[in-house]
Structure 1
Amino acid sequence: MTVRWLWLTLTGIWGTAALTSLALQGMGRQMNAASVYLPSPLDTQVFGQTRWLTHAPVALKVVTIDRQKQRPVKAQVKVCLGTQTIFDGKTNDEGVADIQFRAPSQVGAYPLTILVKSPIGDDRIEQTVTVEEAAQILLTTDKPIYQPNQTIHIRALCLRKPDLRPAANLPCTFEVRDPKGNLVFRATERTSKFGIAATEFPIADEVTLGEYRIIATLSGARAEGRGTGQIGRRARDEGQGR
């Protein structure tokens, strides 16, 4: 199953608010104006993805801008994933820091923290990212057309993304659905060291004819493979009224 990832844009939180109290005097009365909160001049933007594949390359871009003058500003940037610091450096003259690293090898949710310090203010950005496994499944059968009382031999080749290494020793679940969408077969087999799992679906004598959908799902990695198999009768059988 093709995996589609979401892009994330975060705007830095405002810095310490400046409280302004305005006292007006006139005609023997004193009035306190409403408090006014002023944002920090620093505008921090982070571009990246919130879902990562295990041990896959990850790229983040941090942009720091002076929101009042609308121009880049140099800043010190520190990026932490959980308790681990994965980047500690500065933005360039364009106010950009391109950060590249590899995602953790363990699946789960990780807190991502970005700390920014600049001459015009500081920012702290927090976001939870998800690290997951994904795989690609190539699903095949031994032939395209079958008859009642025959057996469909189903084979799945499972490869991990993004490096396409064999997804070894993982449970792979096979399902077969008839032309009406009814589940008629289900089996779970463990993949070999080459990422291959196989099963057999025996076709009954009295069976709904037509196109059958075959689905393989790999447990422990987000992946699904789909295929079809056609079940029909030979012309001579149809002539005999079978």
Structure 2
Amino acid sequence: MTYASTGQRSAENRVSPIFLAMAGIFLASGLALATGWGNDRLGVFLFVVAGWMVSLCLHEYAHARTALAGGDITVGTKGYLTLNPLKYGHVVLSFVLPVVFVIMGGIGLPGGAVYIERDRVSGRLKHSLISAAGPLVNVAFGVVTLLLVGRGWFDNPDVPSTVGELEYGISPLPAALAFLAYLQVTAAILNLLPVPGLDGYGIVEPWLSYKVRRAIAPYAPYGMLLLFALVWQSQVGEWLQEGTLRIFDLFGVDPVYPALGDHLFRFWK
């Protein structure tokens, strides 16, 4: 029984080959961009999509790992600790829609979270921490990428970005990193808003009265789509962009970098 239990726990924590493949694409495309090998636009697309998918897996993993520490021992048997995107609550909500949002609007918006058995977790603070763990991954990812770009570690005048016959004075890798950072920052900002269905609401929900939570519950499935519509079709989108670029300024990153990264990313245009 001891060996079986140990083997089961090992399998529950084994990193998924799917995640390793995504991480491999992320690193390989980054190396190609750094060395000027291949098509810049395709390379930026692969780098950003793979990096975004990796961050989404880590986002959901953080929820699950914090829930495990809080008392929900079922997250392991559900496969949430393997970083396998196919094991998370809803593949379409958690991964397909966020990638579609990136392609359509150039914003980062994490989708549905893992299914946590909240009755196994005691204490309002633990519930709040479980919800906060995911967005904190986006914050950390954003800070690291902004530091890399802001310090100019990947600027290489010998490897300029090229689109057709046009040549830009910025290397493709820092441009791609800046656009990926833009996605991470927007994801953190949006997901920390107290909108039903998003992690920001999950942070404050345990502190609300039962009556308020019951009244809001029917609207939770539509919160993410409503927020995307507001960002896409209203002044909210401009406010989000302005706030994000102010954060970029704090790290000394010129707005030209994410703009070029976005331009290169849309290779189909």
Greater relative contact order (CA < 8 Å, ≥ 6 in sequence): 2
TM-score of the superposed pair, with normalisation by structure 2: 0.21
TM-score of the superposed pair, with normalisation by structure 1: 0.22
Greater helix percent: which structure? 2
Greater strand percent: which structure? 1
